[in-house]
Amino acid sequence: MHNAGQAGLTYWAPNINIFRDPRWGRGQETSGEDPAVAAAYSLEYVKGFQGEEGEEGRIRLSACCKHYTAYDMEKWEGFSRYTFNAKVNAQDLEDTYQPPFKTCIQEARASCLMCAYNQVNGVPMCAHKDLLQKTRDEWGFQGYITSDCDAVAIIHENQTYTKSGEDSIAIVLKAGMDINCGSFLVRHTKSAIEKGKIQEEDIDRALFNLFSVQLRLGIFDKPSNNQWFSQLGPNSVCTKEHRELAAEAVRQGAVLLKNDHNFLPLKRSEVRHVAIIGPSANDAYAMGGDYTGVPCNPTTFLKGIQAYATQTSFAPGCKDASCNSTDLFGEAVEAAKRADIVVVIAGLNLTEEREDFDRVSLLLPGKQMGLIHAIASVAKKPLVLVLLGGGPVDVSFAKQDPRIASILWLGYPGEVGGQVLPEILFGEYNPGGKLPITWYPESFTAIPMTDMNMRADPSRGYPGRTYRFYTGDVVYGFGYGLSYSKYSYSISSAPKKITVSRSSDLGIISRKPAYTRRDGLGSVKTEDIASCEALVFSVHVAVSNHGSMDGSHAVLLFARSKSSVPGFPIKQLVGFESVHTAAGSASNVEITVDPCKQMSAANPEGKRVLLLGAHVLTVGDEEFELSIEL
């Protein structure tokens, strides 16, 4: 695209905010609710964009970590992302909101950071000098900081945080922002200089950061034909290889949530007539999420299934995903009656969740549930329910209904969604995806979206957020996902004891644990540990496939402390690895665990601490106990 004059080399992605609330319209853009997963995702994403740093810090493209920080709400009741003050305590900031950004900058070495619209603890993020400078002073950020679009204008015009536009420009430039998305700086910077609000050195610093990234991108170099990417052009787009990669992403991302009596996979020889019901079944647009690109040659679900079944019937059932009328139910019911197998495509699309638009309910939109009940009551066999959408949906009714045999979540599968769905339904691919988010019940919508607290607080009936702290009921839990195979796990090798050494320069006073628990054990601040690298260990897991199909899936390793300490995670993901296991055989996977990073949590002061005493590693139903001692 760049070589054809249709794009630049700086991109404002990835979105690495935490999917904190299930109603968030932009949660679909993220990698989910877990900070360790978001951090790992940011690392791979930025490396994929920028490539390995070459001489003089050369990069291929510039990636941007966004939206810094604690941004995860569009509109809720009277609150808007443009003026919202996210009240975040030091504990949650340290071990939930900041880890993805720290990794994105410190390890991935992203060349751009975007500051968010919202305030954090009363200060607009683009003017939050403490948090912006932390990225440079503590995390070693070398790049430019951009505002989100019009995020400088709103500081004065909407948030009334400053008395004038010139004051807004002064406060953001002096806080460390380098460029504004929008025209506000273009219109007001000259006036800010004339009024003495900013000095030439403020502009020089911003220009240095901006031009440094342009130089690293080679924008001022003479064109060279010996660089492989100079050959890329229109013929490099929409290739067979790209389409296969897109398909593989859908295959690995599909999550099987229910499969009663091994209803799936279907046998092609036994299925003659398939009815596919739902407004999104024949709508290529519905398969793309927020910020989706222009698809090359999209395959709808209907078209995909037509290639597998002798006969297919299609009925939308509803005019669109909002499904505000039952007028089209009759046609769908008749189609379902005639078919051997019924597949219902339900869920969300961009009319229900998107940028600047949050959901108010976790239930299926409009009368979708009624449509599913109507179809289930007449179908010859239990139906297959396919769910689209980025956010979780309360489908408790379908989970419990024996007339619904299987539930498959596809997210937003993009242009090849229609190709991959029948591959999964007819057993050409064995699904193995896991949920990256907790699927909460509808009752969770009683919790204000504006409550940024992650930890549960029983004293006010607050259940907490995400699998690490949430104490309420779930429809489906984080990390849940079935397969056509049954897997079992055995931890074949892991240390039973880890000994922590404190830094030698600590005084005698600090030999006391950070605080003492009732069992007499305590914790140690990770900053006081002599060598966190020395604590890193490997866990070897044997994975057995008891099914008749080969399969790949993600092996998730969790850790929890055996002692219940207020404010510490119920459990947390410490590692994950994808593994392929042949039918009836076993494979081995090694997961590396960094206790300082992955088994620690923040104390109320926002300091990372590692709990001493017994911890339990879990993978599936397998448990392994290890002790952390001084």
Residue 160 belongs to a domain with what CATH number?
A: 3.20.20.300
In a domain, 319, yes or no: yes
pLDDT attached to residue 221: 87
Please give the radius of gyration of the chain, using alpha carbons only, rounded to the nearest integer. 26
Q: Are residues 548 and 613 in the same domain?
A: yes
pLDDT attached to residue 208: 98
Q: Are residues 317 and 417 in the same domain?
A: yes
pLDDT attached to residue 521: 62
Backbone φ, ψ for residue 618 (5° rounding): -130, 140
* Segments forming the whole domain that contains residue 547: 485-628
Neighbours of 523 (CB within 10 A): 25
Segments of the chain scoring below 50 in pLDDT: 507-520
Instruction: Return the structure tokens found at 249.
Output: 């992403």
Q: How many domains does the chain have?
A: 3
pLDDT attached to residue 174: 98
Neighbours of 136 (CB within 10 A): 16
In a domain, 466, yes or no: no
Q: Are residues 362 and 511 in the same domain?
A: no
pLDDT attached to residue 226: 58
Give pLDDT tens digits for 179-233. 999 999 999 999 999 999 999 999 999 999 999 999 999 999 887 765 778 889 9
User: Which CATH number fits the domain that encloses residue 623?
Assistant: 2.60.40.10
Instruction: Kindly tell me the sign of the dihedral angle through the C-alpha atoms of 367, 371, 376, 381.
Output: negative
pLDDT attached to residue 231: 86
Q: Are residues 500 and 555 in the same domain?
A: yes
pLDDT attached to residue 506: 52
Instruction: Return the structure tokens found at 545.
Output: 């496939």
Give pLDDT tens digits for 131-187. 999 999 999 999 999 999 999 999 999 999 999 999 999 999 999 999 999 999 999
Q: At residue 23, what is the residue type?
A: R
Q: Are residues 178 and 290 in the same domain?
A: no
In a domain, 379, yes or no: yes
Q: What is the DSSP letter of 267?
A: P
Q: Are residues 316 and 410 in the same domain?
A: yes
pLDDT attached to residue 509: 36
Spatial separation of the C-alpha atoms in residues 610 and 628, rounded to whole Å:
9
In a domain, 542, yes or no: yes
In a domain, 210, yes or no: yes
Q: Are residues 51 and 165 in the same domain?
A: yes
Give the pTM. Answer: 0.96
CA 182 to chain centre: 27
Q: Are residues 10 and 143 in the same domain?
A: yes
In a domain, 148, yes or no: yes
Q: Are residues 213 and 338 in the same domain?
A: no
Q: Are residues 257 and 199 in the same domain?
A: no
In a domain, 229, yes or no: no
Place of tokens 């003026």: 83
In a domain, 461, yes or no: no
Residues with a known catalytic role? 148
Q: How far is CA 56 from CA 53, 178, 213, 218, in A?
A: 8, 21, 11, 11
Q: Are residues 308 and 339 in the same domain?
A: yes
pLDDT attached to residue 56: 81
Q: Are residues 180 and 266 in the same domain?
A: no
pLDDT attached to residue 518: 43
pLDDT attached to residue 157: 97
